[in-house]
Amino acid sequence: MISTVPNIPGEFVKDNAHLKEKVAALLKLESYKFPGAQPVSFGAEHLTEIEQEDYFVAEKSDGVRCLALLTVNERKEPEVYLFDRKNNFYVVRNFRFPIPGDPSFRKCLNNTIIDGEFVLDKEPDGRMQLRFLLFDCLCIESKVLVSRGLMSRLGYLKSDIIKPHHEMIKKNPHMLKYQPFLVEFKEQQFTYHLDVVFNEIIPKLKHGNDGLIFTAVNAPYMMGTCKKMLKWKPLNENSVDFKASLIFPGSSLPGVKDYTAKPKINLLVWQGDREYKVFDQLGITEEEWKEQFGKNPKYMDGKIIECNYDPEVQERLGLPSPWRFMRYRDDKLDGNFQSVVDNVLNSIRDAVSKEQLIEHMPTIKKAWTKRKEQSGEPQADGRQAKKPRQE
């Protein structure tokens, strides 16, 4: 499926210093930083890890990662502040996340931070529907949850945030037409049900998919790079966010560049601060350049672009590099840091195929069963496992 990546809804907030302070205060941070957990790339060594430890797995949507701060203003009106990795904030006013147990749905959640991603689904009738798929909860009503395990955090997310919202919509269906987006829980399975994700969930998706996300069940929420959150992609879906630097050839006039010609497109890796280092160049044909970028040839220069690794296309088209343009990453201020690029390269060199993952399922299931027997925990089938949240 060709994916259409959505824009974050809401009104852009120019002065967001007070919102950053609020997020930092709620999460007990000394200063603001984007608190979203960032996965590491899946390598062969992680086959052992997902065997030895309980993990959830979900499809990796081709969407926009976004956290949401749920607040109530001084006029008792709900406000949802959506914020991304570029530290941009967008406010959606009067979007209601009612507190649980209130049949009037008048009082809304305050001082709450949830994690998710926006996707643009193509419905059977051709309509495009924006959805906010939620998969974690960092804080609810000023209660910080990041030190708790995933099962506990998901318990709060599903029962105290998503469920009351859905009950409100069910009893007031007329509200749907005023909602700028729909809210849903992102379905997750225990890892030994990988076949369900591959064979049932992904084929039925209404949006793009570029892999899987594994999240450790018992690990706390780790702000920043999280080694207990693993990002698996098929080999040709492994991607890196680079900064593009265009070098156009000279024209027949001294000192004048020929902007009608295809430039050499250097791919730069972020070293921190404002420093970048040349890594490789973009693999692109003359025809592709003219068709996709020829009308505005200088636009790409300095932009952050996501490139996937595809050596098969490189060999077939005789390209100088296997790195292929996927899309602009206007949601990011910088490209991937050097260590992130190194992890992706290690993942490429140490790639695990879909077939290897599925072949490993019986081993994962056997190890999971043994852990449950030793701990005395009941054994569910692991599909959309339901477990009471732990206070």
* Residues 283 and 314: beta-carbon distance below 8 Å: yes
The stretch 278-292 carries a mean pLDDT of: 96
In the chain, % of residues over pLDDT 70? 95
Q: Is 169 helix (H, G, I), strand (E, B) or coil?
A: helix
CA 315 → CA 236, 263, 364, distances in Å?
13, 20, 36
pLDDT for res 200: 93
Strands 182-185 and 128-140: parallel
Q: Rounded to whole angstroms, how far apart are CA atoms 310 and 330?
A: 23
How many angstroms from the chain centroid is the CA of residue 111? Answer: 23
Span 43-99, pLDDT tens digits: 889 999 999 999 999 999 989 999 999 999 999 999 999 999 989 999 999 899 999
Neighbours of 73 (CB within 10 A): 11
Q: Rounded to whole angstroms, how far apart are CA atoms 297 and 261?
A: 9
pLDDT for res 381: 54
**DSSP letters of 280-304?**
EE----HHHHHHHHTTSTTTTTT-E
Question: Which CATH architecture does the domain made up of 11-230 adopt?
Answer: 2-Layer Sandwich (3.30)
Residues in the chain: 391
Q: Which of 282, 266, 273 is nearest to 327 (CA)?
A: 282
pLDDT for res 307: 95
**61: β partners:** 209
Higher pLDDT, 380 or 24: 24
**DSSP letters of 324-354?**
EEEEE-TT-SS--BHHHHHHHHHHHHT---H
pTM metric for this prediction: 0.77
Q: Rounded to whole angstroms, how far apart are CA atoms 344 and 231?
A: 10
Q: Rounded to whole angstroms, how far apart are CA atoms 198 and 194?
A: 6
Q: Rounded to whole angstroms, how far apart are CA atoms 63 and 131?
A: 10
pLDDT for res 379: 58
Q: Rounded to whole angstroms, how far apart are CA atoms 119 and 171?
A: 25
Query: Catalytic positions, please?
Result: 60
The answer on pLDDT for 385 being more than 60 is no
- Residue 161 phi/psi, 5-degree rounding, is -120, -60
- Residue 177 phi/psi, 5-degree rounding, is -70, -10
The answer on pLDDT for 38 being more than 90 is yes
The stretch 196-224 carries a mean pLDDT of: 94
**70: β partners:** 80, 112
Query: In the chain, what is the straight-line distance between the N-terminal and C-terminal CA atoms, in Å?
Result: 41
Span 110-147, pLDDT tens digits: 999 999 999 999 999 999 999 999 999 999 999 999 99
- Pick 237-349's CATH classification: 3.90.1150.10, 3.20.20.70, 2.40.50.140, 3.40.50.720: 2.40.50.140
Neighbours of 63 (CB within 10 A): 24
11-230 shares its CATH topology with 237-349: no
Confidence bin at 378 (pLDDT 50/70/90): low
Q: Rounded to whole angstroms, how far apart are CA atoms 97 and 156?
A: 13
Higher pLDDT, 353 or 185: 185
pLDDT for res 386: 43
The stretch 29-42 carries a mean pLDDT of: 94
The answer on pLDDT for 388 being more than 60 is no
pLDDT for res 349: 85
Span 315-351, pLDDT tens digits: 999 999 999 999 999 888 999 999 999 988 987 888 8
* Domain map (residue ranges) of the chain: 11-230, 237-349
**324: β partners:** 308
The answer on pLDDT for 27 being more than 70 is yes
Query: Going along the chain, which residue ranges are E strands?
Result: 11-12, 37-41, 55-61, 64-72, 78-83, 89-93, 112-122, 128-140, 143-144, 182-185, 189-190, 209-216, 224-232, 239-247, 264-272, 275-281, 304-309, 323-328
Confidence bin at 391 (pLDDT 50/70/90): very low
